Amino acid sequence: MTRNVVITGGTGGLGTALVRRLHRQDYRLAITYLLPAEAQQFEEEFDVDDEKIVLRRVDATNPEQINAFFGELAGTWGSIHGVCALVGGWAGGRDVEETDDVRLERMIDLNLRSAFYTVRAALPHLTKADWGRIVLVGSRAAIDNPAGQAAFNIAKAGVMSLGLTVAQELVGTNVTANVLMPNVIDTPATRQAYPHADYVNWPTPDEIASVIEFILEERSHVMNGALVPVYGKT
């Protein structure tokens, strides 16, 4: 059976790694992006044809755009079986006293509102299909609460709470919700941001994508409301 999966922020490092794993399997994928440069790079690697891979510019922090996108997919595909909410961003270097409103709102928009709007739009379609998987991306920082990044910590704690709450709401259905809890992911951007860090034990996007791949499968049905540590030995 073909599974129809939505991946918001799917042209980023983790999203691209996940698409590499899924696009040759029995999935139809709908990918959202915001940056044209990322979309161009994505199209150079994958065959975007609206049959196997749909690529759309959608602002996940805009509920009207997200709702319209899910409505379009439901009308075309008939059903939706999974959603991976990968939109997010990090900003640090500020203690609470120094955190301005713009930074706080930006972190909440990128990390929490994007996830909330995506899950809210997806739920009616997943429950209608009577089978579904929701994957959210929290952060180890939501538990460890490191200093100097209060806005990010707060936003990711909200994502964690969202996933756990939705998992409870889905008890008794064939839809599950789980939250990945990464720390630092080994990407070129991260290495540039931390040029002197020891990145030997940082998990790669593909390693984390392999965990998402498992969650999207039937055999992951025993997992619901899990906070999945994907930070390796860091």
For 117, what's the count of Cα atoms within 13 Å in the CB-facing half-sphere?
24
Residue 175 within any structural domain of the chain: yes
Name the band, by pLDDT with cuts 50, 70 and 90, for residue 234: low
Region 29-33 average pLDDT: 98
Residue 32 within any structural domain of the chain: yes
What does the pLDDT look like over 74-133, one tens digit per residue? 999 999 999 999 999 888 778 999 999 999 999 999 999 999 999 999 999 999 999 999
Residue 184 within any structural domain of the chain: yes
Helix (H) or strand (E) holding 7: strand 3-8
Percent of the chain, pLDDT > 70? 95
Query: pTM score, two decimals?
Result: 0.95
Give residue 63's pLDDT.
98
Residue 138 within any structural domain of the chain: yes
Residue 152 within any structural domain of the chain: yes
The CATH number of whichever domain residue 179 belongs to comes to 3.40.50.720
* Sheet strands side by side (includes 82-85): 53-57, 27-33, 3-8, 82-85, 132-137, 175-181, 227-229
Model confidence at 188: pLDDT above 90: no
Give residue 142's pLDDT.
94
Residue 34 within any structural domain of the chain: yes
What is the span of the domain harbouring residue 172?
3-229
Residue with tokens 């490092």: 13
Residue 200 within any structural domain of the chain: yes
Residue 234 within any structural domain of the chain: no
Q: By three-state DSSP, how is residue 154 classified? A: helix
Lowest mean pLDDT, pick from 22-36, 40-54, 101-115, 180-194: 180-194
Is the Cα dihedral 8, 10, 13, 18 positive or negative? positive
In order, the DSSP letters of 108-152 are IIIIIIHHHHHHHHHHHHHHHHT-EEEEEE--THHHH--TTBHHH
Name the band, by pLDDT with cuts 50, 70 and 90, for residue 185: confident
From residue 189, give the alpha-carbon distance in Å to each of 13, 179, 184: 10, 23, 11
Lowest mean pLDDT, pick from 82-86, 189-193, 214-218, 223-227: 189-193
Q: Answer whether 66's CB lies under 8 Å from 43's CB.
A: no
Taking each helix axis from N to C end, the angle separating 13-22 and 36-45, rounded to the nearest 10 degrees, works out to 20
Task: Please work out, in degrees rounded to the nearest 5, the angle formed at the alpha carbon of residue 132 by the alpha carbons of 75 and 222.
Answer: 175
Q: What's the domain count of the chain?
A: 1
Name the band, by pLDDT with cuts 50, 70 and 90, for residue 194: low
Percent of the chain, pLDDT > 90? 83
Region 58-80 average pLDDT: 97
